[in-house]
Amino acid sequence: MAESFLRLRSVSKRFGELAALADVDLELGSNELLVVLGRTGAGKTTLLRTIAGLEEPSSGSIEMAGQNALALSPAERDVALVFQNFSLYPDWSVRKNMEFPLRAPGRSLAESAIRERVEWAAALLKISHLLERRATRLSGGEMQRVAIGRAIVRRPKLFLMDEPLTNLDAKLREALRVELVSLRREIGAPMIYVTHDQAEALSMGDRIVVLSKGRVLQTGTPETIYRVPSSPEVARLVGQPRINLLALQLRGGTWTTKGGLPILPRNAAHPESNMILGVRPEHIQFEASGDAPAKVELVENTGPAQVAVFNWGGERLHALVAKGVPLHVGATVFPHLDLARASIWPDEPPQV
């Protein structure tokens, strides 16, 4: 990160008994797309609202462009929020909807400047032909483009996107995902993009912040989060199909599965007797023979590849298999795990 635009230090937000955010540290570069990835209820929206100034943190500091943001009103922070529910004025034309933020009290832009900005944004979003159309006569994808357009006309200092693609058809989501990344690069403003979709997180983010129950679990590039997840919980949040997690116990100098399959010899680096091994589905190969057979329970065609769900000594695992490899339910296979690319964590009892 070349230059920091936004810095959160130990930000917490409590709603009564509920800790929506707990000690969140976050830094955003001045030309960076940071994705916040987490499940429903992780605190993602609260985080955005706190940055925007719509919520006040219970404790902690927020610095924006070198200034104490907590001393600034939402308007002074000059951020644009885009939500998953695009709230356009239905009776207005697209143009009028997009002009609206430019006509806000306190802004004194010339008519020609307003026109120019709206047309610039419309061209970027490929909605120039829709400018005179009423908002109610738009498709979902068009509405979301207008909502994004309304955010960019202001040329805010920071974009905050709250699952903006969630309510769209899968096909459209895929197209807009690519467009949003290019659009942000073109504008060059920093963006925080919140999502529960791991594919969006991996493909869009310069870096990812993984949030769970109001806490940051890990921050890193998509490659780091995917390849070196800091915990089984992070590992499960990225990757599709999901990572295979095997609980291992030490038996006679060897880590074995619950069902008794030997996986790897004891490693001096790990004194614990219980470990969790994480193996990505693409790091399991089926071999022609071996000591430990498994049974294929389900075969899924994903299009570009196949997923085999198999039972291996009581463990239910997923392997990503190239298409064309013959696979059928009930077949016996001999899985080989690529341990060099696996992750291993101490198996700590869950904290109460």
Partner 1 sequence: MSSSFLRISGLEKVYPDGTRAVKGVDLAIGEGEFIVLLGPSGCGKTTTLRMVAGLEIATAGRIELAGTDVTLLRPSARDVGFVFQFYALYPHLSVRENIAFPLRCSGVAKAELKQRVDQVIEQVGLVSLASRRPTQLAGGDRQRVALARAMVRNPRVYLMDEPLGTLDADRRLEMCEFIRAQQQQRAVTTLYVTHDQEEAMTLADRIVVMEAGYIRQVGTPAEVYENPRDLFVANFVGSPGMNFLEGTVEPRASGSLFVGRDASVQIPLDFSAPAGKATLGIRPEYLRAETGGPIAGEVILDEYLGSHRYTHVQTALGRVVMRSPSKHQVGERAELALNLAHAHLFDPETGKNRRYDG
Q: How far is CA 238 from CA 79, 210, 305, in A?
A: 29, 10, 18
39 is a contact residue toward partner 1 (CB under 8 A): yes
Verify cis geometry, omega within 30 degrees of 0, for the bond prior to 241: yes
The token pair that represents 121 in the structure block:
């944004």
Residue span binding partner 1 (CB under 8 A) among the ranges 52-60, 123-131, 196-204, 210-218: 196-204
303 is a contact residue toward partner 1 (CB under 8 A): yes
Residue 59 or 302 with smaller CB distance to partner 1:
302
Residue 223 or 348 with smaller CB distance to partner 1:
223
325 is a contact residue toward partner 1 (CB under 8 A): no
86 is a contact residue toward partner 1 (CB under 8 A): no
Q: 133 CB contacts (<8 Å, ≥6 apart)?
A: 93, 94
Residue span binding partner 1 (CB under 8 A) among the ranges 2-10, 73-81, 99-107, 218-226: 218-226
Least distance in angstroms from the C-beta of 211 to partner 1: 13
Residues present in the chain in total: 352
Residue of 329, 338, 339, 341 interacting with partner 1 (CB under 8 A):
329
197 is a contact residue toward partner 1 (CB under 8 A): yes
Q: In what order do the strands lie in the sheet with 191-195?
A: 79-82, 158-162, 191-195, 33-37, 207-212, 215-220
Among residues 252, 256, 248, 328, the alpha carbon closest in space to that of 286 is found at 328
Q: How far is CA 118 from the centre of its chain?
A: 30
Q: E strands, 155-228, where?
A: 158-162, 191-195, 207-212, 215-220
The token pair that represents 188 in the structure block:
């060059």
Least distance in angstroms from the C-beta of 312 to partner 1: 16
77 is a contact residue toward partner 1 (CB under 8 A): no
198 is a contact residue toward partner 1 (CB under 8 A): yes
302 is a contact residue toward partner 1 (CB under 8 A): yes
Residue span binding partner 1 (CB under 8 A) among the ranges 81-89, 105-113, 186-194, 220-228: 220-228
229 is a contact residue toward partner 1 (CB under 8 A): no
301 is a contact residue toward partner 1 (CB under 8 A): yes
Q: How far is CA 34 from CA 29, 77, 95, in A?
A: 8, 18, 30
CA 230 – CA 235 distance, rounded (Å): 8
* Tokens 């000594």 -> residue: 313
174 is a contact residue toward partner 1 (CB under 8 A): yes
169 is a contact residue toward partner 1 (CB under 8 A): yes
Residue of 241, 261, 310, 319 interacting with partner 1 (CB under 8 A):
241
187 is a contact residue toward partner 1 (CB under 8 A): no
140 is a contact residue toward partner 1 (CB under 8 A): yes
User: Do 261 and 291 form a contact (C-beta atoms < 8 A)?
Assistant: no
CA 295 – CA 57 distance, rounded (Å): 52
320 is a contact residue toward partner 1 (CB under 8 A): yes
Least distance in angstroms from the C-beta of 157 to partner 1: 25
* Tokens 């920071």 -> residue: 158
Residue of 2, 110, 170, 269 interacting with partner 1 (CB under 8 A):
170
User: Angle at Cα 180 formed by Cα 132 and Cα 62, nearest 5°?
Assistant: 110
Residues engaged in binding partner 1 (CB under 8 A): 39-40, 139-140, 169-171, 174, 178, 181-182, 196-199, 202-203, 222-223, 226, 236-242, 280-282, 297-298, 300-305, 309, 320, 329
